[in-house]
Amino acid sequence: MKRRHAALLTLALLLPSSFARADAFQRITPDAAGYSKEKLAALPEFLGKSGSESLLLLHDGKVFFEWGDIRRKRLVHSMRKALLSSLIGIAESRGQIELDATLEQLGIDDDTPLSAAEKKARVVDLLASRSGVYLPAAAESAGMAAGRPARHSAAPGERYYYNNWDFNVAGFLFEKASGRRIYDAFRSDIAEPLGMLDYQGKVGEREQPEVDGFYQLEPDRSRYRAYHLRLSAHDLALYGQLWLQRGQWQGRQLIPASWVDRSTQPISIIEPRWGLAYGLLWDVLVPEPGNERPSFFHTGAGVHMLGVYPRHGLVMVHRVDTEREDYRFNDGDLVQLIRLVHGARLPRRP
């Protein structure tokens, strides 16, 4: 009886369901999406054992696999950079932000004063995490701090170093240039047009799990705040689909297609063996010959992921309850999950 119940549960997770809570997506079978139902059937057991909370897979905007609670809001962690990317692209198209403007021209300094050389960094250098400003930052991880290069060891634009000083200042510059909080702009320019169901733009304190975002200021490190957001897997999948569609949604161009293309081009090669690179606020896979568009993604805390794979029409969203101190899903599990998903793809029909 237990084995039968497990089989029925697996079948329910793999097939379209009229009993699922109403949301923005149609459901299709794995086969219709070009994936093996039998291979995807291994995912629920893996996800449950490893401590995942939800996984959502879309093909051309339609769900062919879902597991867990896709409507629960969770911190996006570093995926916040990919969310800011849309707002930067929109602001640039409106003439609010000049990507080649320097920190000096924009009046950017910090409590640890920037040197004349550091002030030559441009906005685009911040977005590429190549500013050459090596200072502490709010929400800086231990790994970021340990890997921080010595000050003035590289000129602006010369070296890639993933760091929150660049990203926090980019968020500050957006708010200053647009006259809007990140949370409000994301709600009006992205969440509402996409029909997100769970993000409302409510700002509060970190301890309030119902809020959609909060700022984190650490004045002993920097004058610039980190901006944190919470989104559900459902709403993140809508966002990924928007990027898959080069910023177009139901006849409207929400994000300039030119920005989608530019920001997802590889700029800094991080791991040549695997073709991993960084663009502008997005991780990028160096495209193979013949691929018109690269695949791109962003992770959060090494376990959350929003992945967009244009060649396969695939959007992948994975979430973990990282606000629990005892969560056990790890970055090795994420690598295994990605392999399982891509390994379930059926050979292309001739």
Q: Which pLDDT does position 350 carry in this prediction?
A: 57
Residue whose token pair is 């006259």: 179
User: Residue 97: left if φ>0, alpha if ψ -120 to 50, beta else—which one?
Assistant: beta
Domain that holds residue 287: 74-343
Contact between 248 and 257 under an 8 Å Cβ cutoff? The reply is yes
- The answer to whether residue 114 is domain-embedded is yes
Q: Which pLDDT does position 11 carry in this prediction?
A: 34
- The answer to whether residue 3 is domain-embedded is no
Give the span between the Cα atoms of 252 and 257, in whole angstroms: 11
- The answer to whether residue 11 is domain-embedded is no
Q: List % helix, strand, coil for the chain (3-state, nearest 5).
A: 35, 20, 45
Give the span between the Cα atoms of 52 and 333, in whole angstroms: 9
Q: Which pLDDT does position 21 carry in this prediction?
A: 54
Q: Which pLDDT does position 349 carry in this prediction?
A: 65
Give the span between the Cα atoms of 282 and 19, in whole angstroms: 35
pLDDT tens over the chain, length 350 residues: 333 333 333 333 343 333 345 799 999 999 999 999 999 999 999 999 999 999 999 999 999 999 999 999 999 999 999 999 999 999 999 999 999 999 999 999 999 999 999 999 999 999 999 999 999 999 999 999 999 999 999 999 999 999 999 999 999 999 999 999 999 999 999 999 999 999 999 999 999 999 999 999 999 999 999 999 999 999 999 999 999 999 999 999 999 999 999 999 999 999 999 999 999 999 999 998 877 899 999 999 999 999 999 999 999 999 999 999 999 999 999 999 999 999 999 998 65
- The answer to whether residue 43 is domain-embedded is no
Give the span between the Cα atoms of 294 and 261, in whole angstroms: 9
Contact between 237 and 56 under an 8 Å Cβ cutoff? The reply is yes
- The answer to whether residue 61 is domain-embedded is no
- The answer to whether residue 44 is domain-embedded is no
Structure tokens at 158: 């010369």
The distance of Cα 152 from the centroid of its chain, to the nearest Å, equals 30
Query: pTM of the full predicted structure?
Result: 0.93
Beta-bridge mates of residue 226: 216
In terms of Cα–Cα distance, which of 44, 65, 41 is closest to 237?
65
Could you list the beta-strand ranges (E) of the chain. 54-59, 62-68, 74-75, 213-216, 226-231, 248-249, 252-253, 268-271, 276-278, 283-285, 296-300, 304-309, 314-319
Q: Rg (Cα) of the chain, in Å, rounded?
A: 20
- The answer to whether residue 298 is domain-embedded is yes
- The answer to whether residue 47 is domain-embedded is no
- Judged by DSSP in three states, 342 sits in helix
Give the span between the Cα atoms of 261 and 143, in whole angstroms: 30
| The total number of structural domains that make up the chain | 1
Residue 157, domain CATH: 3.40.710.10
In the DSSP assignment, the letter for residue 24 is S
- Interhelix angle 43-50/331-343, rounded to 10 degrees, is 180
Residue whose token pair is 């301890």: 207
Residue whose token pair is 């980019």: 170
